[in-house]
A = this chain, B = another copy of it.
Amino acid sequence: MPGIGPRTAQRLALHLLRQPEQKIHDFSNALLNARNQVGQCQKCFHLSAEEQCEICRDSKRQKSLLCVVADSRDLLALERTREFKGFYHVLGGLISPMDGVGPEMLNITSLIKRVDQEKTAEVILALTPSVEGDTTSLYLAKLLKPFTTVTRIAYGLPVGSELEYADEVTLSRALEGRRAMD
């Protein structure tokens, strides 16, 4: 398992062996249930135990805003900001020819269909600032433009950082992405 080396594995295993049998029974069942019940939301592809996830069922959210993320971890990171009040669409990865991931392996067809049907006013692409993120953003922007306004989250200096220590690529992006102050 990620982040668990041989020593931690041994510690966890010995801890489990010391537990009463009923507890281990419950734990095993919980694991099985999680595996069986947690699937994908049919609408946004976020993790969900039901056909539609909690976010997609939330009627207080803005229908006109759709945020595209690579996976559920990114969705959860954005949710933690409590800033975004629209819906999400989870791609399931990023286009990466080096790793053999083509656009047809991601939830892109469903995204286009959804934007078209729901008459989404704005699609925000929230993908990592990497070669794969840039490629996927450009690809999606091209496909989505006939249907909606496409925006991209800002890339630049992270809050609390020093200009002096920022790498050159980040500084270039920050300069290039400058905005009028209102």
Q: Which residues of A contact B (CB under 8 A)?
A: 69-70, 73-74, 76-78, 80-81, 83-84, 124-130, 137-138, 141, 149-181
What is the predominant secondary structure among interface residues of chain A facing chain B? mixed
Cα A84 to Cα B172 with chains together (Å) = 8
Can you list 13 pairs linking A and B with CB atoms under 8 Å apart? A73-B164, A83-B176, A125-B181, A126-B174, A128-B162, A129-B158, A129-B159, A154-B156, A156-B157, A158-B161, A159-B167, A160-B170, A177-B177
Q: How many copies does the complex hold?
A: 2
Pair A155/B158 contact, Cβ less than 8 Å: yes
Pair B84/A181 contact, Cβ less than 8 Å: no
A167 — which chain B residues lie within 8 A by C-beta? 158-160
The residue in chain B whose Cβ has the minimal distance to the Cβ of A126 is B163
